[in-house]
Amino acid sequence: MSSPELTVVEFLLTTEFYSEYTQLDERDLPPQYRRVFWSDGEVERPLATTGNTAAAATGIDRPWEAVSGLMFTDRDDFSGTIELTDREMAVQWYLQRADADRIFENPTLAFALGDEVDVDYERARAANRPIHADRVWIDSLLEEMFDEDDEEMLDLVEVRAPGEVEMTMDDLVLTADQEGEIQKVVKAIEHRDYLAEIGLREIGKLLFVGPPGTGKTSVARALARELELPFVEVKLSMITSQYLGETAKNVDKTFEVAKRLSPCILFMDEFDFVAKTRASDEHAAIKRAVNTLLKSIDEISLIQDEVLLIGATNHPDQLDAAAWRRFDEIVNFPKPDAGMRAEILEVVTRRMTIDGFDAQELADITEGLTGSDLRLVLREAVLDALTEERTTLTQEDLRRAVEGFEERDNLKNMEDFDNWRGSPGSSDGDGHDHDHDHDGHDHDHGDSEGVEAKAQDG
């Protein structure tokens, strides 16, 4: 069982051993320690064990107070440094209170103390989150790559550390085909060296196709978290932004970012934009950018560059042959059937209290709704109940929310909306037309795109 004093002593032992054993590197430090000591692209020795660094690394507000009563600790009042006065005594004290599982999560201590508690250092190191998955590592690399003149790139590329992705693969409800394709990718990443050895390099470029709200973005992000890979997200329509000057140069920079952050996932949303641009009279600079994009896709490789490329589109019918042939696997994201809808409802409501809850009944009356739609239905039911000061829902609440959603969703059809506006007694209030094109984007945004997503345990 953990305690503030055990946590701080572990920190002090880790920093001492890491500073002493120079054969250890950043991969041997627990991520919460790396975050504190990472500076200018590295962790410098010796590690400073001040009250501030101890608090930041351990989450203990007053680390010195936690260990001040121990016989083997001391504090320098001038510098604020906390130190061990008798390491051997500290080690024995720690080993009496920390189990093997705890030490396994700290490769530095597994290296120094593993023999005493039967913890294998190499396994502990392999299980530790890699440095390239840390936000501090990502930020330091991006700072190296970009100067003030490159700030417009921030409008084109968003980089997430895997720990910043809330969705996990366990939170998703997938079809058998989706699970199969994702498993292939996982195996390809695990066996990159073998695939290179046998000359199989054209692998690792996926295209997710399906209607808005079916989980394309969520699956891509969850895969990044599962594999502990940085997630580089690009919305291709952004290359037309007025804030982006040299569009082809920015496309090149995007792929450079992915290669420098490798191994990583490069996710390109709105891939149908490529075909639209090639078939239109867009400005020549934009067309050059699209041609640069297609060439860059051809040249990037999971095997050689350790970049998994995932494209996504809501409109596969708009892709031309040049776009299709860039991908070695197509993953379909259909709207969920009744069985999937019931499962989605089960998992999204698992932290809710609902009297008489019947997921299958709701699944039967929500044909055509996506995972994202179902989440919106449930959200409305919860909010409606809160207006009545209730936190316990009923099946009837959910039925009414479904009816309300369907009424609102009808407005996505512009023809229906125009008919509604023209009906007796109806008015939009300002006499202007409004665009309610519901199909051009996902019903829900961010990590709750589709989902077929399970609610997370608290």
pLDDT digits (tens, 9 = 90+) for 255-278: 888 998 999 999 999 888 776 666
Q: What is the pLDDT of residues 393-420, one digit of tens each?
A: 999 999 999 999 988 766 555 444 444 4
Q: What 8-state DSSP symbol labels residue 75?
A: E
Q: How confident is the model at residue 103 (pLDDT cuts 50, 70, 90)?
A: very high
* Amino acid identity, position 255: F
* Residue 457 structure tokens: 């345990």
H or E element: which one contains 91? helix 87-95
| Structure confidence by residue, pLDDT tens digits, 305-325 | 999 999 999 988 888 787 888
Residue 169 has pLDDT above 80, yes or no: yes
Per-residue confidence (pLDDT) for residue 283, from 0 to 100: 65
Statement: residue 373 has pLDDT above 80: yes
Same fold, 135-332 and 338-424+434-448: no
Runs of H (alpha helix) within 154-246: 176-190, 192-197, 216-227
Q: pLDDT tens digits, residue range 56-70?
A: 999 999 999 999 999
DSSP codes, 356-391: T--HHHHHHT-TT--HHHHHHHHHHHHHHHHHTT-S
Handedness of CA 123, 125, 128, 131 (dihedral sign): negative
Q: Please give the average per-residue pLDDT across 82-97, as a whole number.
A: 96
From the options 3.40.718.10, 3.40.50.300, 3.30.230.10, 1.10.3720.10, give the CATH code of 135-332: 3.40.50.300
Average pLDDT over residues 163-173: 87
Using pLDDT thresholds of 50, 70 and 90, give the confidence band for residue 44.
Answer: very high
Is domain 338-424+434-448 classified as CATH 1.10.8.60? yes
Q: Does the pLDDT value for residue 452 go beyond 90?
A: no
Determine the Cα–Cα distance for residues 371 and 346; give it in Å rounded to an integer.
Answer: 12
Phi-psi region of 59 (alpha: psi -120 to 50; beta: other; left: phi over 0): left
pLDDT at 10: 97
Q: What pTM value is reported for the model?
A: 0.77
- Please choose, from the candidates 335, 293, 327, the residue with its C-alpha nearest in 3D space to the C-alpha of residue 310: 327
Where are the alpha helices (H) located in 21-62, listed in sequence order?
31-37, 51-58
Domain locations along the chain: 4-128, 135-332, 338-424+434-448
pLDDT of 1: 56
Q: Measured on CA atoms in the order 195, 196, 199, 202, is the torsion positive or negative?
A: positive
